[in-house]
């Protein structure tokens, strides 16, 4: 199906990090945006974004930046979004479409509905399933979203024109569009994204507190690096995500603790058979997952 290419005169990216910066670069590469205005708290990061051509203009005042914008992407940590929505709402033009890239959706949608007020029908909730352990404008690159899923979660009030613009913009970035309900989204990504991050952070935190941490980590190999790669992600961003999705995440952590308790009991009892059954079942589940996962 042919999709009309968006014509974006002015794109405003609030939070010019890996996601927001890559979104801007992808649309620039596709020659679909005339001007990108970046908004952020860190002057150094904004200067990096200007130097690297991620944005064309830097602004610290979000309300001032969004005036006469065609599209606004809020790429800040989800904990900051209520305040951002409240600040920009009075300055939004009638035709301005607002979207986000938050990793949790029920809280973001509720905040947008509350703070955007009459502009809420022009808000399109979204979540790009892409990223690396790096952050900041310097980490952005235009191919980040190529062949990755982009979750759209339009609400009953969402205007069709707003949805068309956001969908077309993400398709221009190379993303595959998927629709989900907000509660289903938060449950799914609590399990496959938020839980692994908590585990990775906790493992590195545990090892890092040891008196012999420097010597111990000096002997680590690929196994530890592969396991804890995502612990290099932004602590602020993941703090906000985990708190926002705690209703889904706490039961998932309970399940993980139960699995660890079972492994501990088997080790304490010297029960190699029980450990092997657990490990073999996990290995088979991983194999089934990778067999179905697009390469």
Q: Count CB-CB contacts under 10 A for residue 193.
A: 17
At 191, is the secondary structure helix, strand, or coil?
Answer: helix
Count of domains for the chain: 2
Residue 201 sits in a domain whose CATH number is 1.10.3660.10
CB of 71 within 8 A of CB of 20? no
Same domain, 131 and 227: no
CB of 21 within 8 A of CB of 50? no
Predicted local distance difference test score (pLDDT) of residue 215 = 92
Paired residues of 177 in beta bridges: 150
| Mean pLDDT calculated for residue range 169-173 | 97
| Mean pLDDT calculated for residue range 205-232 | 91
Query: Would you give the distance in Å from CA 93 to the centre of its chain?
Result: 27
Is pLDDT of 256 > 90?
yes
Helix axes 106-116, 81-88, angle to 10 degrees: 20
Q: What is the mean pLDDT of the chain?
A: 94
Share of residues in the chain with pLDDT > 70 (%): 98
Domain range for residue 271? Answer: 184-292
- Alpha carbon distance 56, 38 (integer Å): 8
State the pLDDT confidence band at 220, using cuts at 50, 70 and 90. Answer: confident
Same domain, 106 and 211: no
Domain limit, last residue, from 180, 211, 236: 180
């Amino acid at each position: 199906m042919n999709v009309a290419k968006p014509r974006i005169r002015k794109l405003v990216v609030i939070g010019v990090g890996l996601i927001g910066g890559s979104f801007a670069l992808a649309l620039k590469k596709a020659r679909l945006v005339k001007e990108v205005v970046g908004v952020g708290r860190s002057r150094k990061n904004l200067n990096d974004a200007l130097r690297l051509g991620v944005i064309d203009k830097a602004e610290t005042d979000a309300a001032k930046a969004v005036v006469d914008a065609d599209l606004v992407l809020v790429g800040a940590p989800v904990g900051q979004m209520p305040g951002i929505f409240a600040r920009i709402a009075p300055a939004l033009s009638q035709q301005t479409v607002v979207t986000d890239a938050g990793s949790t959706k029920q809280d973001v949608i509720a905040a947008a509905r509350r703070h955007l007020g009459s502009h809420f029908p022009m808000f399109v909730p979204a979540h790009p399933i892409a990223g690396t352990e790096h952050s900041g404008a310097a980490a952005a690159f235009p191919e980040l979203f190529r062949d990755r899923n982009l979750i759209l979660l339009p609400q009953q009030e969402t205007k069709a024109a707003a949805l068309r613009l956001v969908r077309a913009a993400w398709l221009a970035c190379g993303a595959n569009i998927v629709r989900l309900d907000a509660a289903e989204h938060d449950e799914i990504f609590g399990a496959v994204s938020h839980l692994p991050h908590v585990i990775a952070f906790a493992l590195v935190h545990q090892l890092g507190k040891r008196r012999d941490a420097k010597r111990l980590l000096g002997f680590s190999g690929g196994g530890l690096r592969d396991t804890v790669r995502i612990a290099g992600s932004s602590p602020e961003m993941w703090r906000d995500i985990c708190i926002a999705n705690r209703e889904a995440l706490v039961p998932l952590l309970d399940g993980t603790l139960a699995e660890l308790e079972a492994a501990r009991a088997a080790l304490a009892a010297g029960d190699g058979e029980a450990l092997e059954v657990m490990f073999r079942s996990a290995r088979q589940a991983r194999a089934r997952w990778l067999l179905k996962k697009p390469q």
